[in-house]
């Protein structure tokens, strides 16, 4: 019999809109690793399963080789469930690993983790096979020791942005076990002067905290500065001249920095980024190719920010920024908060975004002044003069063209989900 690790999404997924319209919370990435990857790394020897909302299960399955919303084995000697929003620490994971009896752990009214030692009943097994995680948890609660523990959760997107520096540093140290030889090699090349022939015209600062994949292209005139935190440059990545990359920072697979100042940011795969980027997460497959400033923000996938798109991340009176979440303004308690932009959204050239703005998926933002709305619904064509619904048929045509430029296709499952989100928006307005 095997040991199972189940990572689940709870009912606060909509507090992370617009980034969770098309993915579960645990697919968000505050550092180098996504939240679910950090959980899996803390439980070696366990077979992993993912549970999420039924409406996104199909598209989630397309993004991973892990079983979604069902288990594909008959029996387990031990089962651990982890809330995908947890800011999981190695100490907590070790304590849960070592627990010798059933435990049902909550924190602040949220289910944090569950451990089942020994076999499952037939009813419990059927609940998992049928994707009924709630019913399964209720049954386990009745035969477990219930404990309330203090463990931090991510509650909102800006908390992930605020945690970028620490998450990047933690992930870099974890990955050092796999990348340490390459880090030492680069450090030796720099200190012995060999790097000047391998990477002519590239200036490395604190190379002992820099990982650059061997096939990454680092071009003359770029500065890689890890004096303030580690830098991880993934396979196939490219850093072009006149780029100043300041750690902590992550540049994902096949992404390109085309110049400018990039600081304290996590950039996912296949992005094109230039200008000024600060303390920002880009999920992946997005473009900020031109000049303009984006700071303290979380950007989804397949987003295109037109030339000179700039956001404010600081109020003139230096007070805490308020962000609209589910139609209600929340005090972030943070002085610096930028933009939260959903997948497939585009901004026109010269777009100016006000502090703490929340923009849904599949929007077109065209404005000749500051976009001052706190929250723009998904499937909105926005301009200074009007806000109209973006027709889903036309939107999907554009999405197909957008994805084809990166050699990707819009799947039937994602097309259905996008259509359903558009339909629900229209029904809500009626």
The pLDDT tens digits of the residues spanning 287-305 come to 999 999 999 999 999 999 9
Strands (E), 279-361: 281-284, 287-288, 293-295, 298-301, 304-305, 310-311, 322-325, 328-331, 339-341, 346-347, 352-353, 357-359
The DSSP bridge partners found for residue 204 are: 224
Average pLDDT over residues 324-346: 96
CATH number at residue 46: 3.90.550.10
Query: Order of strands, edge to edge, in the sheet holding 298-301?
Result: 210-212, 231-233, 249-251, 266-267, 281-284, 298-301, 339-341, 357-359, 375-376
414 and 388 in a common domain? yes
28 and 94 in a common domain? yes
The pLDDT tens digits of the residues spanning 200-225 come to 999 999 999 999 999 999 999 999 99
188 and 86 in a common domain? no
Domain final residue pick, 155, 171, 198 = 155
pLDDT at 425 (0 to 100): 80
Percentages of the chain per state (helix, strand, coil), in multiples of 5: 30, 30, 40
pLDDT at 162 (0 to 100): 98
Say what percent of the chain tops pLDDT 70: 99
Average pLDDT over residues 302-313: 97
pLDDT category of residue 71 using cuts at 50, 70 and 90: confident
163 exposure class (CB count in 10 Å sphere: 0-12, 13-18, 19+) = middle
- Mean pLDDT computed over every residue of the chain: 94
- Report d(CA 141, CA 17) in Å as an integer: 30
212 and 140 in a common domain? no
Nearest to 289 by CA among 340, 363, 349, 237: 349
For the ranges 38-42, 118-122, 290-294, 399-403, the lowest mean pLDDT is seen at 118-122
Average pLDDT over residues 399-417: 95
Residue 426 has pLDDT above 80, yes or no: no
212 and 150 in a common domain? no
H/E stretch holding 81 reads strand 76-83
pLDDT at 1 (0 to 100): 64
For the ranges 148-152, 243-247, 278-282, 313-317, the lowest mean pLDDT is seen at 148-152
- Report d(CA 336, CA 324) in Å as an integer: 15
pLDDT at 85 (0 to 100): 96
pTM: 0.96
- Report d(CA 190, CA 196) in Å as an integer: 7
- Report d(CA 380, CA 313) in Å as an integer: 23
First to last CA, the chain: 53
Say what percent of the chain tops pLDDT 90: 82
pLDDT at 430 (0 to 100): 56
113 and 19 in a common domain? yes
pLDDT at 379 (0 to 100): 96
150 and 164 in a common domain? no
| 332 and 323 Cβ atoms separated by less than 8 Å | yes
Q: Where are the alpha helices (DSSP H) in 142-293?
A: 157-162, 164-191, 195-198
- Report d(CA 410, CA 392) in Å as an integer: 14
- Report d(CA 97, CA 316) in Å as an integer: 48
Give the Å distances, CA to CA, from 30 to 38, 59, 281, 328, 385. Answer: 11, 21, 7, 24, 36
Give the chain's domain count.
Answer: 2
H/E stretch holding 415 reads helix 412-429
Cis peptide before 248 (omega within 30 of 0): yes
H/E stretch holding 263 reads strand 256-263
227 and 180 in a common domain? yes
The pLDDT tens digits of the residues spanning 354-382 come to 999 999 999 999 988 899 899 999 999 99
Domain final residue pick, 100, 122, 155 = 155
172 and 32 in a common domain? no
Domain final residue pick, 136, 155, 174 = 155
Cis peptide before 373 (omega within 30 of 0): no
Parent domain of 336? 160-429
CATH number at residue 388: 2.160.10.10
DSSP one-letter string for 364-402 = EE--SSEE--SEE-SSEEE-SS-EEE--HHHHHHHHHHH
The DSSP bridge partners found for residue 111 are: 106
Q: At what angle do helices 133-141 and 122-129 cross, to 10 degrees?
A: 150
The pLDDT tens digits of the residues spanning 11-58 come to 999 999 999 999 999 999 999 999 999 999 999 999 999 999 999 999
pLDDT at 256 (0 to 100): 98
312 and 374 in a common domain? yes
The pLDDT tens digits of the residues spanning 243-275 come to 999 999 999 999 999 999 999 999 999 999 999
For the ranges 88-92, 127-131, 138-142, 389-393, the lowest mean pLDDT is seen at 127-131
- Report d(CA 61, CA 66) in Å as an integer: 7
pLDDT at 429 (0 to 100): 66
168 and 111 in a common domain? no
Those residues whose C-beta lies under 8 Å from the C-beta of residue 208, and which sit 6 or more positions away, are: 183, 184, 187, 226
Those residues whose C-beta lies under 8 Å from the C-beta of residue 169, and which sit 6 or more positions away, are: 229, 230, 248
pLDDT category of residue 124 using cuts at 50, 70 and 90: confident
171 and 98 in a common domain? no
Give the Å distances, CA to CA, from 319 to 68, 245, 313, 396. Answer: 43, 29, 11, 40
Instruction: Specify the pairing of strand 110-117 against strand 103-107.
Output: antiparallel
| 102 and 140 Cβ atoms separated by less than 8 Å | yes
For the ranges 112-121, 219-228, 271-280, 342-351, the lowest mean pLDDT is seen at 112-121
- Report d(CA 321, CA 61) in Å as an integer: 36
pLDDT at 264 (0 to 100): 98
């Amino acid at each position: 019999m095997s040991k199972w690790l189940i990572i689940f999404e709870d009912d606060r997924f909509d507090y992370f809109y617009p980034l969770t319209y098309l993915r579960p919370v645990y697919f968000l990435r505050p550092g180098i690793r996504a939240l679910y990857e950090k959980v899996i790394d803390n439980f070696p020897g366990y077979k992993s399963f993912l549970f999420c909302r039924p409406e996104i299960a199909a598209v989630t399955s397309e993004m991973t080789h892990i079983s979604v919303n069902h288990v594909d084995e008959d029996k387990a000697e031990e089962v651990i469930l982890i809330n995908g929003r947890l800011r999981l620490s190695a100490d907590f994971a070790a304590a849960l690993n070592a627990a010798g009896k059933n435990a049902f752990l909550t924190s602040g009214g949220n289910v944090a983790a569950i451990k089942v030692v020994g076999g499952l009943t037939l009813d419990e097994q059927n609940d998992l096979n049928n994707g009924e995680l709630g019913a399964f948890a209720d049954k386990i609660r009745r035969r477990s020791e219930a404990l309330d523990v203090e463990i931090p959760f991510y509650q909102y997107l800006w908390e992930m942005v605020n945690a970028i520096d620490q998450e990047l540093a933690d992930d870099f140290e974890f990955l050092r076990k796999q990348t340490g030889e390459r880090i030492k090699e680069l450090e030796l090349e720099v200190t012995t002067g060999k790097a000047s022939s391998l990477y002519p015209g590239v200036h490395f600062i604190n190379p002992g905290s820099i990982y650059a994949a061997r096939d990454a292209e680092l071009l003359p005139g770029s500065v890689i500065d890890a004096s303030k935190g580690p830098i991880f440059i993934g396979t196939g990545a490219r850093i072009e001249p006149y780029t100043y990359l300041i750690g902590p920072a992550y540049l994902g697979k096949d992404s390109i920095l085309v110049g400018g100042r990039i600081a304290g940011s996590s950039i996912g795969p296949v992005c094109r980024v230039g200008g000024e980027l600060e303390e920002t997460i880009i999920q992946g497959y997005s473009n900020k190719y031109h000049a303009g400033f984006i700071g303290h923000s979380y950007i989804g996938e397949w987003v295109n920010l037109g030339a000179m798109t700039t956001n404010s991340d600081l109020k003139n009176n230096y007070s805490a920024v308020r962000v609209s979440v589910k139609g209600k303004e929340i005090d972030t308690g943070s002085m610096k908060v930028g933009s939260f932009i959903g997948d497939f959204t585009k901004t026109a050239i010269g777009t100016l975004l006000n502090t703490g703005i929340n923009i849904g998926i599949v929007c077109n933002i065209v404005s000749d002044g500051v976009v001052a709305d706190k929250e723009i619904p998904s499937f909105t064509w926005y301009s200074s003069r009007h806000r109209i619904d973006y027709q889903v048929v036309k939107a999907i045509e554009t999405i197909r063209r957008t994805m084809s430029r990166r050699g990707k296709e819009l799947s039937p499952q994602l097309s259905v989900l996008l259509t359903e989100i558009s339909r629900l928006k229209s029904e809500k307005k009626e």
